[in-house]
Structure 1
Amino acid sequence: MPLIIIIVLLSALKYFEVGPFAGISWWWIAALMAVAFIWFEFLERILGRDKRKAHEAIEKTRQERVKKTFENHKRPGR
């Protein structure tokens, strides 16, 4: 995600010709976009990061559901 933020910021700075960023070639920004594409489409899958995030989200939902179930079954006065 930081890479996407950098790409957006560099694109905006280049487009509005702010300071030293006015002289940066659009090829540098395009290269960063290519790196981001390769990362999100290929490397993240190879490293298993996409599945790990999905499993963590499912596990968190499951734990919340179990906690809610046990809280609902508690009886007052015990």
Structure 2
Amino acid sequence: MALLVLGLVLVTLKLLAWPPVADWGWTWVLAPFALAALWWWWADWSGYTRRKAMEKEEARKAARLAKARSQLRPPSQR
């Protein structure tokens, strides 16, 4: 996500002719988008995306179970 934001900022600065970025070539300005695509490809290929989704689901499951267990206690022990 940070690479996309960086890419958008650089493209905006290039189009507004901001002095340091206006002199750069388009290859350098568009490089963060290529790096973001490369990151997404690697994350899917390596299983990183799936692993993070599973960790998030396990955390939601654990929170749901903890909430259910806390509601099983009598009101005097809460």
When normalised by structure 2's length, the TM-score is 0.82
Aligned length: 77
Aligned partners of 2:70 and 2:7: how far apart in 1? Answer: 46
Alignment partner of 1:64 is 2:63:
yes
Deviations 1:17-75, CA, capped at 9 Å, x for gaps = 112111111222333322221221x2112222101110111011101110110111110
Tell me by how many angstroms 1:76 deviates. Answer: 2.6
Larger RCO (CA under 8 A, 6+ residues apart): 2
Aligned partners of 2:10 and 2:59: how far apart in 1? Answer: 36
Aligned partners of 1:15 and 1:55: how far apart in 2? Answer: 41
Identity among equivalent pairs (%) = 29
1:30 counterpart residue number: 30
**5+ residue gaps, structure 2:** none
Q: Structure 2 vs 1, CA of residues 75 and 8 (structure 1 numbering), >3 Å: closer, same or farther? A: same
Secondary structure of 1:24's partner?
Answer: coil
**Runs of 4+ off more than 4 Å:** none
Aligned partners of 2:31 and 2:55: how far apart in 1? Answer: 32
When normalised by structure 1's length, the TM-score is 0.82
Instruction: List aligned pairs for 1:1-78, cutoff 5 A.
Output: 1-40=1-40, 42-78=41-77
CA contact (8 A) 2:43 2:49 kept: yes
